[in-house]
Amino acid sequence: MLEVDSLEKRYKTGDMALRGISFTVAKGQVVGLIGPSGAGKSSLIRCINRLVEPTGGAIRLNGLDLTKLSGGNLRQARRRIGMIFQEYALVERLTVMENVLSGRLGYVAFWRSFFRRFPQTDVDKAFQLLDRVGLQDHVDKRADALSGGQRQRVGIARALEQDPELLLVDEPTASLDPKTSRQIMRLICEVCRERDLPAIINIHDVVLAQMFVDRIIGLRAGAVVFDGPPTDLTDTALTEIYGEEDWHAMRKTREEDAADESETKAFEAERLAELV
Q: What is the pLDDT of residues 156-168, one digit of tens each?
A: 999 999 999 999 9
Choose between 231 and 245: higher pLDDT. 231
Q: pTM of the full predicted structure?
A: 0.84
Instruction: Report the CATH fold assignment for 2-244.
Output: Rossmann fold (3.40.50)
| Per-residue pLDDT tens digits for 9-59 | 999 888 899 999 999 999 999 999 999 988 999 999 999 999 899 999 999
Q: What is the mean pLDDT of residues 134-147?
A: 92
For the chain, give the secondary structure using H, E and C: CEEEEEEEEECCCCCEEEEEEEEEECCCCEEEEECCCCCCHHHHHHHHCCCCCCCEEEEEECCEEHHHCCHHHHHHHHCCEEEECCCCCCCCCCEHHHHHHHHHCCCCCHHHHHCCCCCHHHHHHHHHHHHHCCCCCCCCCEHHHCCHHHHHHHHHHHHHHCCCCEEEEECCCCCCCHHHHHHHHHHHHHHHHHHCCCEEEECCCHHHHHHHCCEEEEEECCEEEEEECHHHCCHHHHHHHHCCCCHHHHHHHHHHHHHHHHHHHHHHHHHHHHHC
Domains in the chain: boundaries: 2-244, 246-276
pLDDT of residue 250: 58
